Amino acid sequence: MPDGRHTEGPTEKCGVVGVSLDGRDAARPLYYALYALQHRGQESAGIVTHDGFQQHSHVEMGLVGDAFEEGDLDSLNGSTGIGHVRYPTAGSVDSSCAQPFSVSFKSGSLGLSHNGNLVNADEVRTELAESGHAFTSDGDTEVIAHDLARNLLEADLVRAVKRTMSRIHGSYALTITHDDTVLGLRDPQGNRPLCIGKLDDGYIITSESAAIDVLDGDLVRDVRPGELVVLGPDGDGFDSYQLVEQENTAHCFFEHVYFARPDSRIDGNLVYDVRRELGRKLWEESGVETDVVLPVPDSGRAFASGYAEAAQEDDADVEFAEGLMKNRYVGRTFIMPTQDARERAVRLKLNPIRDVVEGKTVTVIDDSIVRGTTSTQLVELLNDVGAEAVHMRIGAPAIVAPCYMGIDMASREELIAAGKDTDDIREEIDAASLSYLSIDAIAEALDESRADLCLGCVTGEYPYDIDGESTDRDVVRPTIDGAQAGVASDDD
Ligand code: AMP
């Protein structure tokens, strides 16, 4: 089994959006939607629009607020368009992978915003390169764009998308422009979220419903796994094509645990409710009576409130207190390149309030432990300010394997839980006790069966066919030639 990250090209843990409006320019609504999706990516931001004649594009490195000036938005003409925010990966920052990816082919202009990660991009890229396609980036999104452009020369839009779906394998939630038509596409197992919203004067497709809220729209529904949604040109509706059907989904549970905004509704669940429910289950499974329950802000907050509420309902004498203060101006600790810098960043980011903690037993609640930097530092900090005992409770199972589906996790050797049992980890972070949540609790809180979730990072078994890893289901990775032949007879 290979160790470490094994993605092909940079991972794309991102936010996507697409709108089609009746007459009004799409640029500003897209810009506001990208603000709502900023938590999904801070490395780059971009918008592509189409005015019926030509495509316009503006893509910059940096946060949404820095990437666009008033004039940039003014020059993005057209009432249809897509937008993208890109997640910072631990590797090099490379503007060639900033999105939306846009290009003009004989078959028209295309813009693509991608969240997720293909696991067979290298194969498809090689095959396309051999037939004369020139690539400008090593990202998997460009692979989708070239494949789709080629298929559009021979087939109508829906069939072309279907052919592309039969060649690419992995996780993708996409918004696409083909000239002034906006599409939304979710991979057959629906790994990353994607939903449809109704605006006053049009429709929106986006990663999270919070982006619909900021435009005062209404969530219509999630895009179904394997479904293509085509927005009408004047924002007058949408068509749906169920292009691929699979028995099981592979929804990423980690979206609910960590990644998505708590105010978003994903696959039928409000993320905030899920996190509180997971907190309640954490109490049921491994509650420990202490004087104080402390959330790690902000990631552990909803879990901790559910945990404390369930504890109080059981007449446990525990107090819920915001005893850790977060400095919002320190970036995500996670992406700091060295361990030393990461530790310093945790110290800068989280400061305990001595008066809340001194002389007390405390339970610290966070959503997840990845490398263990945050928990190790927190236990030490809380002991330093006089805690009598520090118990850690985590609202997710132990993360034991990398994510190939687009979440920037860590390599196997960096994951504190890889190859260890809970007591080893407890010892390493020096906590009085440590408990994770069970996988069953996650499935129950999401009201899904285990077979419908992607649990790769907590089981080491993936719902996609990844080189060198094992799968937890019957998945068939497309073979390039065979898949093409197969599609020709399966085109309708
Ligand atoms: P660590 O300090 O490496 O154990 O990471 C755990 C902390 O990082 C927790 O507070 C999580 O909320 C947060 N976290 C978990 N997953 C990610 C991720 N993919 N990117 C950034 N932060 C994360």
Check: CB of residue 254 under 8 Å from CB of residue 265.
no
- CATH 3.60.70.12 is right for the domain spanning 14-250: no
Please write the tens of the pLDDT for every residue from 322-333.
999 999 887 655
194 lines ligand 1 (CB under 6 A): no
pLDDT band at 278 (very low <50, low <70, confident <90, very high): very high
Name which of 261, 327, 325 is nearest 35 in CA terms. Answer: 261
Please write the tens of the pLDDT for every residue from 202-260.
999 999 999 999 999 999 999 999 999 999 888 999 999 999 999 999 999 999 999 99
Greater confidence, 8 or 188? 188
121 lines ligand 1 (CB under 6 A): no
* pLDDT for residue 88: 60
Q: Report the predicted TM-score, pTM, of the whole model to 2 decimal places.
A: 0.93
Name which of 257, 277, 255, 258 is nearest 267 in CA terms. Answer: 255
Question: Mean pLDDT, to the nearest integer, of 335-340?
Answer: 66
* Exposure string for 234-247, b = 16+ CB within 10 A, e = fewer: ebeebeebebbebe
Domain ranges in the chain? Answer: 14-250, 275-328+337-442
252 lines ligand 1 (CB under 6 A): no
Check: CB of residue 29 under 8 Å from CB of residue 204.
yes
332 lines ligand 1 (CB under 6 A): yes
Question: Mean pLDDT, to the nearest integer, of 394-416?
Answer: 92
Which atom of ligand 1 is the closest one to the Cα of 346? 2
Question: Mean pLDDT, to the nearest integer, of 290-307?
Answer: 97
372 lines ligand 1 (CB under 6 A): yes
* pLDDT for residue 276: 98
Quote the mean pLDDT of the chain.
91
Tokens of 101: 């990816």
pLDDT at residue 337 above 70?
A: no
Say if 14-250 and 275-328+337-442 have the same CATH topology. Answer: no
* pLDDT for residue 12: 52
What's the CATH architecture for 275-328+337-442? Answer: 3-Layer(aba) Sandwich (3.40)
Question: Mean pLDDT, to the nearest integer, of 155-164?
Answer: 96
Question: Mean pLDDT, to the nearest integer, of 256-271?
Answer: 97
Residue 391 CA to ligand 1 center (angstroms) comes to 18
Greater confidence, 169 or 344? 169
pLDDT at residue 489 above 50?
A: no
Tokens of 310: 């369930």
Residue 390 CA to ligand 1 center (angstroms) comes to 19
pLDDT band at 89 (very low <50, low <70, confident <90, very high): low
258 lines ligand 1 (CB under 6 A): yes
Q: Is 14 an annotated catalytic residue?
A: yes
Greater confidence, 15 or 23? 15
Residue 368 CA to ligand 1 center (angstroms) comes to 6
Question: Mean pLDDT, to the nearest integer, of 262-271?
Answer: 98
pLDDT at residue 10 above 60?
A: no
Nearest protein CA to atom 17 of ligand 1, as residue: 409
Cis peptide before 298 (omega within 30 of 0): yes
* pLDDT for residue 477: 80
Name which of 466, 487, 318 is nearest 4 in CA terms. Answer: 466
Nearest protein CA to atom 9 of ligand 1, as residue: 368
Question: Mean pLDDT, to the nearest integer, of 419-426?
Answer: 97
Among 89-98, 106-115, 477-486, whose mean pLDDT is lowest? Answer: 477-486
Beta strands 453-454; 251-252: pairing state: parallel
Nearest protein CA to atom 3 of ligand 1, as residue: 371
